[in-house]
Amino acid sequence: MFAGLARFVVRHPWWTILAWVVTAAAIVVLSPSLETKSDQGDFLPSKYESVQAAKLAKEAYPQAADSTALIVVKRTDGAPITPADSAKVAAAAKTLQAKNYPSVQGFLASDKTVAPNKAIQIISVPMKGQGQAEQKKLGDAIKSMRKDLPSALGSGLSAKVGGEVAGFTDNEKSFQQSFAIVSGATFILIIGLILLIFRAPIAAVLPIIVIMLTEVVATKLIGAASKLLDFSGDDSLQIILTIVLFGIGADYYLFLLFRFRERLRAGDDKKTAMITTVERVGEVITSAAAAIAATFLVLMLASFGLFAAWGPSLAIAVLVMGATSLTLFPAILSLLGTAVFWPSKSWKKQPKAKLSVTMGNMVGRRPLVVALGTGAILLALAAGAFGFKADYDFQSSFPQNTESAQAMKDMQKGFPPGLSTPVQVYLKSEDGQGIPKEKVAAFSEQAKSLPGVGGVQPEQPNKDRSVVRVDLLLKKNPVSNDSISLVKDELRPAAHKIEPAGTKMLVGGETAIFGDINKVVNRDLSVILPVAGVLIALILLLLLRSVVAPLYLVPAVLVGFAATLGASVYVFQGIKGEPGEIFHLPIMLYLFVLAIGTDYNILITARLREEAKEGHEPRKAAALAVQHGGPTVAAAGLILAATFSVMLLAKVSMLQQMGFSIAIGIALAAFVMALFLVPSITALLGHRAWWPGHADRPKVRKGPDPLEEQFTRSEVGS
């Protein structure tokens, strides 16, 4: 199969390129774009209580605000707010109201919005509008308010604007700067490292151009699939898609380029060298792409809609990149030939490769020591995974010197932290009649003693009082891990116990949503990881025709996943003392470490089999596999890990956590598992590693291979 494909692509490169361009153009023109959502709650299944509460809120309060900005006013001299100050605040609210800012529904201020300790007073600003289209209007309104506030308040008072919309407006620049840094550094790193390895500008720039074109095609295909399968992604999907494509695209390109150079050094002409390259590496790329795509597709089993949307999207991208790597890359390289390495002449010389020879000899001669040593390192890191704590406080991951962050700190001087994000309790009449005020008042009084509640806001009935909302203010940060666990495990059950007769209660709000997300993410991980392990095992079984090999390769990948999560826990929760890590970090590691890290195991295992087929006994085959395959794995792992490590330069700690964790995971997959653990275990098992098939059965040798002669010389000299 791969021999036939290789011969066609290499012998008809212009037809291959033309077919790719025509197909890509048709896809781009005919396929729709992917629609995205930004609210995490939109991805929860409808069976969860917080989702049902949100649905009831939309039905009962159709004109209600989608979000609320909070203007926090205090005296410039730090003294308590006086009645005269409060009157000035009320007048300022009317002045701002008259300006008719877009998306703003009103400015609410009275003596009831003065803090009990008189430290501050709040002006509540309900705002209408959701989604990317409305976000600019909301942001512009926030900026205008800030500009007009000093003159509206007059002397003696100062104010800061906070709340969700204000936070988004302030942090948008941090995100844009962070992603600009990451995107630019990604290109620079890929080009720079490939240039360093091959000293050839064409070789360095070529993958960037091809991968960018592939991303355009893949994005359009994902848009078409979203219409057929009825899914939508979130705002982060495009970023993840870019990282995945550049990660695996650079890997597959290096797989081809290293083998192409190897065959040229062995004496093949450029056409023969590329045909042999695609024939031998094609199976590796196909198996790796299939393993990654299958792993991503497992995400479709997730209950959380965000993960379920990532699954088909990323699987499509990987398959498109795999097809590009087997057709477009070989066609271009076969046309360029040795010119791809210009102006360097080093491709003609067989390098001494002292380091890879030394590593190969160590693995081949002492496989037990290597296996035990690398296994111990991974298990020690994996132990840290048991201490993982999810963190849902996105605001704390952004710079704390913004106006919105300062406003929230000022607000907490006079009100419970939960004022900005209350727990929303909805009471719905079972008979459709109005709920008596006395019942609601009695419930509100009892609610004051619910776990973690620091205050209860006045009731908010709908028009016919068939639904009444009561906001509970938490004593602690409402989006902290402790508060989310409290609402999920204690407050919500306790609230249902004091549910007024004749009503149905639903507990909602952002804290409750995150509590339900916590449930669904834990459920999804318990389903996704085992199923992914089975699928990877089946793909390895088909590739290697061995039952034994998957039995140690799959656990190695899973231990690598746990070691990565554990390393992140040690650094961020241990050394840096952070309360937790972003809640979807395990899924991100699943995407980038478990899935993409499998590439390196497949490459080195295929090389182990290839060396065994050349007639080498198991330990020598392991040594040769590390010597010949090691530089490819090391280069690919270095580029991918370095790309993710650039995220450490971002100003947002959430991105720093992702960057460090994924970079260390890729490094472990490439430099620990693929180069040491997998070959050493394979060397120890010997021929039994390929049972019951004959994947390591030596093929008929036509003559000496220059690569083997080189290894023999290096072994004699060592």
- SS3 readout for 647-713: HHHCCCHHHHHHHHHHHHHHHHHHHHHHHHHHHHHHHHHHHHHHCECCCCCCCCCCCCCHHHHHHHH
Residue 146 has pLDDT above 70, yes or no: yes
- pTM exceeds 0.85, yes or no: no
Mean pLDDT within 154-178: 80
CATH superfamily of 422-508: Multidrug efflux transporter AcrB pore domain like (3.30.70.1320)
Give the pLDDT confidence of 200-212 residue by residue, as tens digits. 999 999 999 999 9
Confidence of residue 707 (pLDDT cuts 50, 70, 90): very low
Span(s) in the chain for CATH 1.20.1640.10: 355-394+519-697
For residue 709, the model assigns a pLDDT of: 46
Give me the long-range contacts of 497-501 (CB less than 8 A, separation at least 24): 498/443, 498/446, 498/447, 498/450, 499/427, 499/443, 500/427, 500/435, 500/439, 500/440, 500/442, 500/443, 501/439
> Three-state DSSP class for 7?
helix
**Residue 696 banded pLDDT, cuts 50, 70, 90:** low
The most confident of 13-27, 101-115, 286-300, 548-562, by mean pLDDT: 13-27
- Write down the residue that tokens 């792409």 correspond to: 289
* CATH number 1.10.3470 is the correct assignment for the domain at 1-28+199-351: no
Taking each continuous run of H as one helix and of E as one strand, the counts in the chain are 25, 12
- Residue 335 neighbours by CB distance under 10 Å: 16
pLDDT tier, 716 (very low <50, low <70, confident <90, very high otherwise):
very low
Residue with tokens 């009471």: 427
pLDDT, residue 697, reads 67
Q: What is the pLDDT of residues 660-689, one digit of tens each?
A: 998 999 999 999 999 999 999 999 998 888
Check residue 518 and give its pLDDT. 83
Average pLDDT on 94-113 reads 89
Strand, coil or helix: what is 72?
strand
Write the CATH number of the domain with boundaries 355-394+519-697: 1.20.1640.10
Question: pLDDT class for 130, splitting at 50, 70, 90?
Answer: low
Is 470 in a helix, a strand, or coil? strand
pLDDT at 132 over 60: no
* CA 201 to centroid of chain Cα atoms: 31
Query: Could you tell me the pLDDT band of residue 693, with boundaries at 50, 70 and 90?
Result: low
pLDDT of residue 668: 94
Q: What is the mean pLDDT of residues 609-631?
A: 89
User: What's the rounded mean pLDDT across residues 413-439?
Assistant: 89
- List of E strands, 207-252: 233-234
- The single-letter DSSP state of residue 590 is I
Answer whether 425's CB lies under 8 Å from 505's CB: yes
396 confidence band (pLDDT: 50, 70, 90): low
84 has a pLDDT exceeding 60: yes
Model confidence pLDDT, tens digit, residues 449-462: 999 998 898 898 99
User: What is the rounded average pLDDT for all residues in the chain?
Assistant: 85
Phi, psi of 426 (to 5 degrees): -110, 125
What pLDDT does 205 receive? 92
Q: Contact 414/120 with Cβ under 8 angstroms?
A: yes
Where does residue 510 fall: left (phi above 0), alpha (psi -120 to 50 degrees), or beta otherwise? alpha
Q: How far apart are CA 266 and CA 457, in angstroms?
A: 79
**Unique residue bearing structure tokens 């000496």:** 704
Q: Which residues fall within 8 angstroms of residue 418, CB to CB, at 6 or more apart?
A: 454, 455, 472, 473, 474, 475, 476, 478, 483
Pick the CATH number of 65-170 from 1.10.30, 1.20.950, 1.20.1260, 3.30.70: 3.30.70
Chain-centroid distance, C-alpha 108: 39
